[in-house]
Amino acid sequence: MTRLYFAYGSNMCKTQMAARSPGAQRLGSVEIAGYRFLINKQGYATLISDPSARIFGTIWSITEQDEAQLDIYESVASSLYLKDIIDIPNYGPALVYFALDQAPGIPGIDYIEAIIEAARDQGFPLPYIKELASWRVKAGEPVANFHTNCDSLPSTAGAYVLWIDLPNALSIRLSARSPTPLAAGRYLYCGSANGPGGIKARVGRHMRLDKSLRWHVDQLTTAGKVVGAWAFPDAQECALVASLSHLPKPIPGFGSSDCHHCISHLLEWPATACLPYFMSWAIKDSLSADRR
């Protein structure tokens, strides 16, 4: 008797599976909507339900002995991982292991590298590889705070990421370029604030509607809604752009006329794309604080 098994973490690796479950046969790779990849507090990969996301993985055919071995490696007996069945497009019901702990955390560096390498081997799309790579967080690295109004923002110098929702399409004008259309949707803008009043003053200005149009981003903040901002005291805006490199950049040169590193400081945030751990966790924290 064999059954299907969907692996999305280190069990995508052929060598690991050959050692753990020698009878396993790799059938193919699939994308499943409605789930997202997450590294939990214990440092292990899991999947969580998220209607706006998708996860990629490997379909294996495994024997009963293989499954018994996997149960041991996944510590099913101590409930580190639980077992479930999910429906895989074009294949049917498959076994999946998911962690009981679903709070975001930090992976071991060898562990996340093995997952990224297996994802690359299988030719998963580059934005997904970059999403996995965004979990390369060092232990002790700070989690950014997300602010929905400027009162709580720090007055120190640093960088920030602004989340702007555009309810309607917008034509953006950059100097010396023809107007560029921006579709309605979610956008992230990375900026720096090194003047008086620091991040608080700069983001406060972005959140105000009554202002003269001075920077490229003013065209978005006056046409759309600034949902909030992540503040990074002492950080550099280009480092933030780099950490969001899996996101599409809709307009080359936007906000980066004097930057030699980045194509653009404006990024699109499609519904299916996840933010790096140090940002997505902060949103959850902030929104649940709003509800309290």
State how beta strands 2-7 and 45-63 pair: antiparallel
Give the HSE-up count for residue 12: Cα atoms under 13 Å, Cβ half-sphere: 27
Residue 263 found at the interface with Zn ion (CB under 5 A): no
Residue 159 found at the interface with Zn ion (CB under 5 A): no
Amino acid, single-letter form, for residue 136:
R
Phi and psi angles of residue 274, each rounded to the nearest 5 degrees, phi first:
-100, 150
**Contact string 186-225 vs Zn ion (x = CB under 5 A):** ----------------------------------------
Q: Which stretch binds Zn ion (CB under 5 A): 82-90, 131-139, 151-159, 252-260?
A: 252-260
- Binder among 238, 250, 272, 286 for Zn ion (CB under 5 A): 238
CB of 242 to Zn ion, least distance (A): 8
CB of 260 to Zn ion, least distance (A): 8
Q: Is the dihedral of CA 119, 123, 128, 130 positive or negative?
A: positive
Residue 261 found at the interface with Zn ion (CB under 5 A): yes
CB of 261 to Zn ion, least distance (A): 5
Task: Specify the 3-state DSSP secondary structure of 222.
Answer: helix
DSSP 137-173: --TTPPPPEEESSGGGS--SSEEEEEEEEESS-EEE-
Distances (CA, A) of 126 to 36, 169, 246, 251: 16, 27, 7, 19
- Whose Cβ is closer to Zn ion: residue 189's or residue 277's? 189
- Binder among 45, 226, 251, 262 for Zn ion (CB under 5 A): 262
- Total interface residues for Zn ion by CB under 5 A: 5
Q: Could you give the CA distance from residue 163 to residue 173 in angstroms, rounded to a whole number?
A: 20
CB of 240 to Zn ion, least distance (A): 9
CB of 198 to Zn ion, least distance (A): 19
CB of 88 to Zn ion, least distance (A): 40
User: Which spans of this chain sit near Zn ion (rule: CB under 5 A)?
Assistant: 238, 256, 259, 261-262
